[in-house]
Amino acid sequence: MIEPLKRRRARTHNRPHYDIRSFDMAKSIQRKEIIVLIQCQIISPPEADPFVVHCVVRPDVSRNRFMKQNKIIFVTGATSGFGLSIANRLVSEGHKVYGTSRNPSKINVRLDFELLQLDVTSDESVKQCIQGLLSKTPTIDVLVNNAGMAVIGAIEETSIEQAKLQLETNFWGSVRVTKEILPVFRRQRQGHIINIGSLAGLIGVPFQGFYSASKHALEGYTKSLRFELEPFNIKLTLVEPGFFRTNLQHSSVSATKKVVDYDSIRPKVLKALSDSIEHGPSPEIVAHLVSKVIRSKNPKFKYRVGNDSKFLPILNFFFPRLFEFGAKRKFQLM
Ligand SMILES: NC(=O)c1ccc[n+]([C@@H]2O[C@H](COP(=O)([O-])OP(=O)(O)OC[C@H]3O[C@@H](n4cnc5c(N)ncnc54)[C@H](OP(=O)(O)O)[C@@H]3O)[C@@H](O)[C@H]2O)c1
């Protein structure tokens, strides 16, 4: 907001032509103000008095106009797949990025961003990581909750421990990190949380039942949180990718128990899932989208990315029977 305090100008002409002679700026940190003095010379008519415009700019009110372009961004799970592509892209665009890994010392490749140790399944690890982050930077602009894994197998074949690990990582992991960052964002009265959801948060994927449950939980949590954080100028965005070519299936955990009755369908469904990831598009597409969301002044709440993620939920909504048919075909269940 620009608030003119004093304004003197020649009134002899309706539309004077003027030239800016000097431009001065002073910052009052105590009053959180920027004072701008603009001295103008009237060109026509030449005899007119010069005038001065004196403005006070309050950055807390006009944050958007003065928003810095290069942001401080925290990306969880930045050693492979989406997280690595997102972090690399944001660094190349000039942002300051902090990534995370459960084992930073085991990463042999050179990264252009700093890696902090983080296991999202542990309260202690999350607390220490965020404390470490805050010792390096007092402000954070964006949190990307990306760290995740998949438990693969029929629901009946999955142990309760494996099911809990799935939700501890994909759902409670994002909840823990968000909980530690929120006091910083509220204090700043500014922040942006980007949660990496999934197509599996929109439809139930067979043999990824607990993975689907974790992403459905993340959807519901993000939808509620969005309303609670709006008064503090904290934005929430859900990115919902379809199948993409990452390490997800290599890092996935297989259900330990094998129930013979599933033997006839299990290999077909697992092959369909692994083919969808192996022949999926590059994670660069998601990184490009996240970068666009971060640059956007008014980001949308949800972004679907990848053909499956756009097509299947629409089919489900408008033509549920056709969706059943299409999903069964996609996952080789017919
Ligand atoms: N690939 C897809 O088709 C797809 C589609 C939709 C959504 N997603 C979601 O995208 C996100 C990233 O997955 P991705 O596909 O890129 O898989 P990925 O290549 O396997 O990457 C997973 C990342 O998460 C980190 N991670 C795993 N468990 C962790 C834990 N307990 N604590 C902290 N970090 C952990 C890993 O880092 P370290 O091993 O170094 O700790 C790694 O950097 C996940 O949330 C996934 O659900 C993937």
How far does the centroid of ligand 1 lie from the alpha carbon of residue 81, in Å?
7
Percent of the chain whose predicted confidence (pLDDT) is above 90:
76
Q: What is the pLDDT of residues 268-301, one digit of tens each?
A: 999 999 999 999 999 999 999 999 999 999 999 9
Name the band, by pLDDT with cuts 50, 70 and 90, for residue 14: low
| Kind plus residue range of the DSSP H or E element containing 54 | strand 51-57
Domains and their CATH numbers in the chain = 2-57 (no CATH), 72-330 (3.40.50.720)
Ligand 1 mutation pick, 212, 216, 243, 248, max ligand atoms within 8 A of CB: 248
pLDDT of residue 25: 59
Q: What is the pLDDT of residues 191-245, one digit of tens each?
A: 999 999 999 999 999 999 999 999 999 999 999 999 999 999 999 999 999 999 9
Q: Is the pLDDT reported for residue 33 higher than 50?
A: yes
Pairing of strands 33-44, 17-28: antiparallel
pLDDT of residue 334: 85
Confirm or reject: Cβ of 240 under 6 Å from ligand 1. Answer: no
Whole-model pTM?
Answer: 0.83
User: Using alpha carbons only, how large is the chain's radius of gyration in Å?
Assistant: 26
Ligand 1 mutation pick, 79, 121, 149, max ligand atoms within 8 A of CB: 149
211 counts as catalytic: yes
Q: Is the pLDDT reported for residue 3 higher than 60?
A: no
Q: What is the pLDDT of residues 123-141, one digit of tens each?
A: 999 999 999 999 999 999 9
**Among candidates 208, 139, 146, which has minimal Cα distance to 177?**
146
Q: Is the pLDDT reported for residue 12 higher than 80?
A: no
pLDDT of residue 69: 79
**Among candidates 49, 51, 48, which has minimal Cα distance to 37?**
51
Mean pLDDT across the chain, nearest whole number?
88
Confirm or reject: Cβ of 208 under 6 Å from ligand 1. Answer: no
Ligand 1 atom having least distance to the Cα of 79: 43
Using alpha carbons only, what angle is made at residue 77 by residues 74 and 82, rounded to the nearest 5 degrees?
Answer: 95
Which amino acid residue places its CA nearest to atom 28 of ligand 1? 148
